[in-house]
Amino acid sequence: MIGLWTALATFALHASALHNYGLVSDELYFIACSQHLAWGYVDQPPLVAIVARLSAPFGYNPIALRLLPALSAALAAWLAAAIAGELGGGRFARGLAAVATALVPAYLLLGNLLVTTSFEPLSWSLVIYFTIRAIKTGKSAYWYAIAAAFTFGMYGKYSMLLLGAAVAIGLLLTPERRIFRTRAFPIAAALALLAIAPNLAWQWSHGFPFLGVLHGDFQHRHPFQSGMMLEYKSFGVNALAFIAEQLLYTSPAIAAIWIWGAIALARSERLRAFRWIAIAFVLLIAAAIALEGKGYYVIAIYVPLIAAGCVAIEGAWQRTGARSAATAVLLATTLPLVPFALPVLPIESFLSYSQALGLTGAHGTPPHVVQPLYAQEFGWDQFAQRVAQVYAALPPRVRARTAVFADTYGEAGALALYGPKYHLPTIIGSQNNFYLWGPNGYDGSSMIVVGATQQETIRRLFRHVTLVTTIANPYEWVLQGPDPVYYCTDPIAPLAQIWPQLGWYGA
């Protein structure tokens, strides 16, 4: 019951903050994808687009858009308690696992946004939980539950492949490999493959563009406007940053719990039957580093490690006072971080809080929003309005053939969502699926171009390029500078012919 109560409290906490700020660029893009439902997309499976489509009757209100991610975060907390129980934990271990999981900064953030990673802590934990149950009970029917959880995860994000491979290798390297010796395993595997086949077929028919996204993401790594950088092109530097981000995303106190859990899974006789989880964790970290991945690529693996850590703490600290002290330390060190992962404070209060902690506004400089995702959640409506003013200023005959083009999917998504009320036409764009959707019949003879990502390409493809205005959002300072808006005419060839030169893949 303690896991259930913690899950309900987690959902209530998320629900209270769902509408406090606006939408981030990824959500704007997913809304655009939801209006072009398909079995797949350039950069993602279809789950997030389907979830976004469910919020359409509510005008893509942030509460409707983010309700399922909030529920996913709550269920992940409940699963942490359930896994702790399966590992032999008592009431204290189950409760601490649920609370610690609920307070992981990355999970707080994911439960408040609709992004491809939002459902990973839940889907990965379901795979681990059902595998544990299959081992403990010997019931081969759990393979069908594992297959269902794997399929759910695959339709959310392709990184489920990494977990599946890591868990399979971990099992094969331990005596628990016996669970493969059942007729249910190949049947369940075949059913999972059949279920994800439509998405795999979409990727195959389009030349596996997701691989292009991974390559483009690596090529476009650059620092934020503030100078902060999370991913690097240097393998060694990126590996160090990746490891550091595991501590940042989980917080130092909770990191101490999952590290203890990983060690216990690897060395404890009591948890010997679950050693495959520790092996899977090491393999995931090694694979992510080898692939030069981003820090959040394996963030979902920490639910079972936290559960194992809480079981180890319960076994080591029998006294009530020691357990109370552990809980107090957890709360004292993680609760102050909550405003940086969940928008529980009004934005001006958040600025003041950040400044009080010395994170911004030093030496009399203006305070800035230091949380990059928060910085994306403001100004999109005004952004669309400013672009619409440029469009409206054109003569009617010119305006009728003028395309509005954005060179990133976030800006294109914002203009697509907020533009219609300002009489903007159908938006075209060059990144990921916007590129795939094409130029919408425009010839390029008159085009408003928003964004600086492809500035050099635009100047090469159009003979006349005029900077009309720039659009600045003070909250977005940490990410980037003002967005330029160009008016372009006289292309070197019709837009349909030069379109391939405009397209680019990346995250």
**Is 46 a domain residue?**
yes
Q: Please check whether residues 325 and 401 belong to one and the same domain.
A: no
Whether 371 maps to a domain, the answer reads no
In a domain, 360, yes or no: no
* Residue 104 backbone phi and psi in degrees, to 5: -60, 120
User: Between residues 324 and 494, which one has the greater pLDDT?
Assistant: 494
Pairing relation of β-strands 446-450 and 403-406?
parallel
Asked if residue 271 lies in contact with residue 310, where contact means CB atoms within 8 angstroms, the answer is: no
Asked if residue 275 and residue 170 are part of one domain, the reply reads: yes
Are 234 and 168 members of one domain? yes
Q: Count up the domains in the chain and report the number.
A: 2
Structural domain of 70 = 2-341
Predicted confidence (pLDDT) per residue in 139-194, tens digit: 999 999 999 999 999 999 999 999 999 999 999 999 999 999 999 999 999 999 99
Same domain flag for 193 and 318: yes
Residue 22: closest CA among 343, 478, 406: 343
Query: Does residue 95 surpass a pLDDT of 60?
Result: yes
Domain stops at, among 325, 341, 357 = 341
Q: How far apart are CA 168 and CA 209, in angstroms?
A: 27
- pLDDT surpassing 70 at residue 219: no
Identify whether residues 245 and 336 lie together within a single domain: yes
86 vs 454, residue with greater confidence: 86
Is 354 a domain residue?
no
Same domain? For 32 and 158 the reply is yes
Beta-carbon-side half-sphere exposure of residue 16 (alpha carbons within 13 Å): 12
Query: SS3 for 270?
Result: coil
| Residue 420 in domain | yes
Residue ending a domain, among 292, 321, 341, is 341
The fraction of the chain above a pLDDT of 70, given in percent, is 95
List, in sequence order, every residue forming a beta bridge with 449; answer none if it has no partner. Answer: 405, 486
**Does residue 363 belong to any structural domain of this protein?**
no
Model pLDDT for residues 21-44, shown as the tens digit of each residue: 999 999 999 999 999 999 999 999
Local structure of residue 419 (DSSP, 8 states): G
Annotate 16-43 with DSSP letters as a single string.
HHTTSS---HHHHHHHHHHTT--S-BTT
| pLDDT (tens digit per residue) in 97-146 | 999 999 999 999 999 999 999 999 999 999 999 999 999 999 999 999 99
- Asked if 337 and 384 sit in the same domain, the reply is no
Query: For residue 507, what pLDDT is reported?
Result: 75
The verdict on residue 353 lying in a domain is no
- Pair (244, 190) in one structural domain: yes
447 DSSP β-pair partners: 403, 488
Last residue in a domain, options 341, 360, 395: 341
Give the confidence band of 308 by pLDDT, cuts at 50, 70, 90. Answer: very high
Do 296 and 429 fall within a single domain?
A: no
Distance CA 194, CA 165 (A): 18
Secondary structure class of 447 (helix, strand, coil) = strand
Q: Is the same domain home to 76 and 150?
A: yes
Provide the pLDDT confidence category of residue 227 given band limits of 50, 70 and 90: very low
Task: Flag the least confident range among 162-166, 228-232, 312-316, 464-468.
Answer: 228-232
Give the separation between CA 394 and CA 396, rounded to whole angstroms. Answer: 6
Q: Are 24 and 134 within one domain?
A: yes
pLDDT (average), residues 37-56 = 96
279 and 388 both lie in a single domain: no
Within a domain: 366: no
What was the pLDDT predicted at 153? 97
